Amino acid sequence: MVSLPFLFLAARRPVLRRLALRNAARRPRETALVVLGSLLGTSIITGSMVVGDTLDASLRQGAQTKLGPVDELVSTSSATEQGELTVALQALDDDSEAIDGVLALTTLPAAVAVLGPDGEALRAEPTATVVEVDFGAARAFGGDPAATGIEGPTPAPGRTVVGEDLAEELGVGGGATIVVYAFARQLELAVDRVVAQRGIAGFSPGFGSRSPNLFVAPGTLAELAQAAPAEAAPPSTLVAVSNRGGPLEGADATEEATAAITAHLGTAPGGLSAAKSELLADAEAVGAEFTELFGSIGFFSVIAGVLLLVNIFVMLAQERKSEMGMLRAVGLRRAGLVGSFSLEGWMYALVSALLGTLVGIGIGRVVAGVAADIFGGAEQSLELTFAVDPASVESGFTVGFIISLLTVALTSLSIARVNVIRAIRDLPEPAPPRTRLRALVAGAGIVLAAGAWTAWGIPGDEPYATLAGPVLVLAGLVPLLSRFLPRRLLVSVAAVAVLAWAISAFGVLPDAFEGVEIPIFVVQGVVLTAAAVALATRNQEAVGAVVRRLGGGRSMAVRLGLAYPLARRFRTGMILAMYSLVVFTLVFIVVLSNLFSSQIDSFTADVAGGFELQVSSNATNPVPVEEVRSRDDVVAAAALSDADAEFLTPRTEGEFEPWFVTGIDEVFVGQGPTGLGDVGTYPDADAAYRAVLADPGLTIVSDFFLQDGGGPPEEPLEPGERITLRDPVSGSARQLTIAAVSDSSFAEAGAYVSQDSLRELYGPRATANRILVATSDAADPEEVAAELNAAYLANGAEAETFRELVATNLASQTQFFRLMQGYLALGLVVGIAGLGVVMVRAVRERRRQIGVLRALGYPSGAVRRAFVVESAFVAAEGIFIGTTLALITAWQLVGNDTFGDDLPFAVPWAEVALLVVVTFVVSLLATAAPAQQASRIRPAVALRLAD
Amino acid sequence: MTAAAAAPADATATPVPILSARGVRKTYRSGVESVEALDGVDLDVAPGEFVAVMGPSGSGKTTLLNCLSGLDDIDEGTVMVDGQPIHELSDARRTRHRAASMGFVFQAFNLIPVFTAVENVELPLLLAGRGPKEARARAEETLERLGLGERLRHRPPELSGGEQQRVTVARAIAGAPKLVWADEPTGNLDTETAAGVMGLLTDLHAGGLTLLLVTHDQAIGASAGRRVVVRDGRIVSDVHQPPSNDGVMA
């Protein structure tokens, strides 16, 4: 649609069409550079959407591989209840239009191993799931046997069917023997066959792509559980419901099915969860989150692309100034000139948007691949399914195209405003009058509107109005006051004030910026760089004087190299803005990344409390805590119980949200748990923890409690607030009061309650499935962890030191920062391409001047050096502005505890220096070719062509 | 007729020429076509001479200037400027030689737009190795001498055409070159301003400056002491004449 006016113009105005086409074809190499520079914006937008699509599709894949026909799951508290519910729902199945299948499944987390001849474990999977299901019923479940992944008969007692994930992990196939460890017993099973990871065969609700399942004969788990020790959770008894429709479409009927189930039973079953629709909603949310994340950080590069386009078009107009004057003189109206430029720009925008979309798909593939690797830990690896939604391609193309087109159209409007005689004679435009009425009116309008926005935004803690409102007021004051004060002074003062505000706003009005999302940082970056570039551009002469002094006043190359960027303020400002913006974001990310990764010791101390390592194990076969306590190298061992839970809080808008709960014991508190950020009414952390131990109605939560997504916590709960804890299986609930809030940056802990409190609510399912271990001074925690892993393999023990845990977490975080840096570096390509384009055009524009200089005796080497000095000056200034702003902003944010308390500010000088040097050197390399070309200009040729 | 054939009528002893060209040929090639721009040119110019090179459009006047000054390469022949075979010098040495001994005035002024008037004028002095202070003083002095003392800090776009050309002349003579080349120096100026600029050049010549000026303007040609006519890349007339100021001062 947006192309219609251009197509109409091209069809109806052949002269404009010819002019646009021939101008575009006039210099193919430069046209290619223009297209390259502008396509990156589209590719970044498309890329961010493809990242979202791919992650969405990868997670949605789980709907088929891990759930198949399962749409809802009901957790029951016993096999009896499971049986009754299955029968009741089967009756519904016969009548209901919403559901088409009911299936009873019993699952048990267990360790599984392949043993050697001497009984040693050759291969093991500590977190396998033993599934008991009737294969006939499973295959019939949902009406599409292929979607269930179940084949053949139900395994007989003593035999098993293994899912392909587990088979791969253990390296087994049909005929092999494996050993299952559960309830302190071991069960030897012969493998009948391997089934594909699909539907019921791949059954695994939850995050991650893996389903290490093995299927056993009915009754096997009940028999195993008979001799279960007191400290062991029973198997999970589930009833799966399949809605009408395929694995994906079925989720659409979840509401209807839930209503039907509730109506049929007379009440909503306690443990009912919409497994499929939740998984799909999560997939959509993760996809959208990634699209927003990469779209937001990529926005800096998009702005750089827009600046590049503006710069190119202004340069084109300058180069063609006399032609434009002639065209106007021979009768072409200003609208025609705008049309000609716009038509040419439309062609560039179209080609670059098309190519940019293709490049964006490639970028998205690479980014999604790296992101999947980062998120894919060994336990929860996410298998990547590359996907491109045609709607994303269409949106990426459209947004990129419209941004380019708007830029081109607005720039064309501005540059077509030429005085015919001045254009023909290539005379400079006179300086605009100091105070034009139009500028005064615009300034007054901006001040009034922005003032009102600020007045509305600051009291309401509205982050955008708080940050940008005062900035716009200052910007509007410049034209208003320029009647009374010199413009340079005004712009400089306003720019300094804007810089001060944009840097300090987060500290001055912290409430307005609590829980803000990435786009506010994008606005902050844009405001900061715009102000710094305005300041630099208005004071270029002073900057140039300093550089000249440093660079040697006698050097002709320095003199000439500085003369052009100082004289061409607009052009220099545009390149400066591109460089500053991109370098700002890159350095900022580098500093942030380092802030976290260098804090391994303090983070470890933060999350470990008085312990060195933790041992997680299967709830059905937990590691006996007394055995761990009895070791010589162990000083103390706290038994914690982690369990899935649901919470209703004043922030969850009436809905229960999933999180987990942790039961704590006396040893945990005595040994020194993690610190607390807010102890509420208690004198210290110890008192708060002891209160929770003593009172089952109290809890301690982390400030990341119920938070999703990255970044600082949004509206964390406070001491004194009341929340409701519900057991998702039994539906039993309890009111809790928040005693204190921990500021541990790792969401490792659930809401802390006392063991007794948890046991009251969860019954035998509250087992000590996590042990925190304090080792003796002489012991090496890593060795202790390794020994515990070996000793308690049968319990599915996973012992890990806190240091290792923190290091793994930080490594993922660092990798993710690297990914963002890589993505942001695309903006650097725009900046460097921009500098290259400007220098190539500068050579052409100054051909005659270079000829004169050479005629006067200017050596060719000095011409080359002058061009290098010119680009070095602009690049260095941009890099300096970007780096300085990034360091100040990061320092300010860290100082305000935006990323948590006690995070010391440190600059990774080596990394920053590397970034700066690489950017600078690549910028010079981009200038090498035009500089060489300039030095080869023969004076007579240049003068002859020019005259 | 060649320069050798047309010896100065009043010369009793031939001075060593500051410019000596022998058998200079220059061909421009464009695709399959080639144009003989200079076809065996011989020319000697003595120190202090004012030579006007004239001829119709496309005759090769500017090419002659470019080739003899070393701005452009030649295909055949030799050119000695101030005793140096300029086309046998490397580009760097030729450039240094040009900076030290020649000045140029172009029709389109060709000032560097981002430099002020004084910065433009001091440019060749700095290139010739003068110190910045000396170069600045000399440039200011030259501009003041040419009546531009009030316009030292103005950039070219802020100057009138006549002022720009005077800056160009100042730039050409500030370094006291042995030879000044001027290519249609009044081509872009109105009659009055052109007369002013020519008067300036004539005065400078009267002070001992060697001047080789390309023009198609008969009146300006008449103001030179020697008139060389070029046609189809050859010198067809080389006449010494008493200079006249009629056309210049009109």
DSSP A284-308: HHHHHHHHHHHHHHHHHHHHHHHHH
Q: Is A940 on the interface with B (CB under 8 A)?
A: yes
The verdict on a CB contact (< 8 Å) between B66 and A859 is no
**Residue A72 bridge partners (DSSP):** A241
Lowest mean pLDDT among A305-309, A630-634, B138-142: A305-309
Nearest by CB to B127, which of A858, A941, A944? A858
pLDDT range class, residue B194, cuts 50, 70, 90: confident
The span from the CA of A688 to the CA of A699, in Å, is: 9
Which 3 state secondary structure label does DSSP give A771? strand
Average pLDDT in the B18-40 region? 87
Alpha carbon A457 to its chain's center: 27
The verdict on a CB contact (< 8 Å) between B71 and A938 is yes
C-alpha distance from B108 to closest chain A C-alpha (Å): 7
The span from the CA of A796 to the CA of A638, in Å, is: 18
Q: Would you state the pLDDT for residue A31?
A: 80
What is the reported pTM? 0.73
For residue A947, the chain B residues in CB contact (below 8 A) are 62, 106-108, 183
A253-284 per-position pLDDT tens digit: 888 888 888 888 777 776 788 888 888 887 78
The verdict on a CB contact (< 8 Å) between B95 and A857 is yes
For residue B119, the chain A residues in CB contact (below 8 A) are 559, 563
A134-189 per-position pLDDT tens digit: 999 999 888 888 888 888 899 999 999 999 989 998 898 888 999 998 887 888 99
Which 3 state secondary structure label does DSSP give A622? coil
Q: Would you state the pLDDT for residue A305?
A: 78
- Residue A566 pLDDT > 70: yes
pLDDT range class, residue A898, cuts 50, 70, 90: low
B4-18 per-position pLDDT tens digit: 334 444 445 567 899
Q: Is A564 on the interface with B (CB under 8 A)?
A: yes
Alpha carbon B240 to its chain's center: 18
Q: Is A318 on the interface with B (CB under 8 A)?
A: no
Comparing CA positions, the residue from A246, A145, A241, A240 lying closest to residue A195 is A145
Q: Chain B residue closest to A563 (CA)?
A: B114
Residue in the structure block whose two tokens are 């113009």 = A9
Averaged pLDDT score across all residues of chain A: 83
C-alpha distance from B103 to closest chain A C-alpha (Å): 7
Q: Is B107 on the interface with A (CB under 8 A)?
A: yes
Rg, Å, chain A Cα set = 34
A859-890 per-position pLDDT tens digit: 888 889 889 988 899 999 999 999 999 888 88
pLDDT range class, residue A731, cuts 50, 70, 90: confident
The verdict on a CB contact (< 8 Å) between A941 and B72 is yes
CA dist B157 to A267, A333, A423, A465, B172, Å? 88, 27, 13, 44, 19
Q: Is B127 on the interface with A (CB under 8 A)?
A: yes
Average pLDDT in the A683-709 region? 86
C-alpha distance from A547 to closest chain B C-alpha (Å): 17
The span from the CA of A749 to the CA of A789, in Å, is: 21
A378-410 per-position pLDDT tens digit: 444 566 778 888 888 888 888 888 888 888 778
The verdict on a CB contact (< 8 Å) between B112 and A946 is no
A10-62 per-position pLDDT tens digit: 887 777 787 788 877 877 877 887 787 778 778 888 888 888 888 788 777 77
> Under a CB-based contact definition with an 8 Å cutoff, are residues A300 and A581 in contact?
yes
Tokens of A491: 């712009």
- Residue A808 pLDDT > 90: no
pLDDT range class, residue B1, cuts 50, 70, 90: very low
Q: Would you state the pLDDT for residue A191?
A: 93
Lowest mean pLDDT among A193-202, A306-315, A523-532, B53-62: A306-315
Q: What is the DSSP string of A711-770?
A: SSPSS---TT-EEEEE-TTT--EEEEEEEEEE--SSTTS-EEEEHHHHHHHHGGG----E
Q: What is the DSSP-derived secondary structure letter of residue A64? A: I
Tokens of A213: 């399942």
Number of helical (H) and strand (E) elements in chain B, helices listed first: 8, 10
Average pLDDT in the A775-790 region? 90
Which residues 422-441 of A are in CB contact (within 8 Å) with B?
A: 427-428
Nearest by CB to B112, which of A849, A857, A938? A849
ipTM of the complex: 0.72
- Residue A514 pLDDT > 60: yes
The span from the CA of A833 to the CA of A828, in Å, is: 8
The verdict on a CB contact (< 8 Å) between A857 and B100 is yes
In A625-746, alpha helices (H): 625-629, 666-671, 685-694
The span from the CA of A448 to the CA of A79, in Å, is: 70
Tokens of A833: 């391409």
C-alpha distance from A386 to closest chain B C-alpha (Å): 53
The span from the CA of A946 to the CA of B21, in Å, is: 26
The verdict on a CB contact (< 8 Å) between B71 and A568 is no
Nearest by CB to A947, which of B100, B107, B112? B107
CA dist B106 to A670, B66, B138, B169, Å? 93, 11, 21, 9
Tokens of A465: 């109005």
Average pLDDT in the A317-325 region? 73
pLDDT range class, residue A551, cuts 50, 70, 90: low
Q: Would you state the pLDDT for residue A215?
A: 94
Q: Would you state the pLDDT for residue A896?
A: 67
The verdict on a CB contact (< 8 Å) between A852 and B112 is yes
User: Residues, chain A, total?
Assistant: 947
Alpha carbon A926 to its chain's center: 31
**Residue A185 backbone phi and psi in degrees, to 5:** -125, 165
Q: Chain A residue closest to B116 (CA)?
A: A563
Residue A735 burial (CB count, 10 A)? 10
Q: Is B18 on the interface with A (CB under 8 A)?
A: no
- Residue B165 pLDDT > 90: no
Q: Would you state the pLDDT for residue B202?
A: 87
Identify which has the larger pLDDT, A914 or B145: A914
> Under a CB-based contact definition with an 8 Å cutoff, are residues A867 and A934 in contact?
yes
Nearest by CB to A848, which of B66, B99, B110? B110
C-alpha distance from B94 to closest chain A C-alpha (Å): 8
pLDDT range class, residue A650, cuts 50, 70, 90: confident
Strands A613-616 and A213-216: unpaired
For residue B69, the chain A residues in CB contact (below 8 A) are 855
The span from the CA of A416 to the CA of A423, in Å, is: 11
A335-381 per-position pLDDT tens digit: 777 888 788 888 888 898 999 999 989 888 888 777 766 665 544 45
pLDDT range class, residue B248, cuts 50, 70, 90: very low
The span from the CA of A367 to the CA of A294, in Å, is: 9
CA dist A135 to A146, A153, A195, A200, Å? 13, 6, 12, 9
The span from the CA of A644 to the CA of A729, in Å, is: 9
The verdict on a CB contact (< 8 Å) between B71 and A860 is no
Identify which has the larger pLDDT, B149 or A704: B149
Mutate to test the interface with B, among A549, A943, A944, A945 (most CBs of B within 10 A): A943
CA dihedral sign of residues A115, A116, A117, A118 = negative
pLDDT range class, residue A330, cuts 50, 70, 90: low
Q: What percent of chain A has pLDDT over 70?
A: 91
Comparing CA positions, the residue from A395, A295, A282, A357 lying closest to residue A55 is A282
Which residues 534-553 of A are in CB contact (within 8 Å) with B?
A: 553
Burial class (CB in 10 A: 0-12, 13-18, 19+), A633: middle
Residue type for A276, please?
K
> Under a CB-based contact definition with an 8 Å cutoff, are residues A484 and A436 in contact?
no
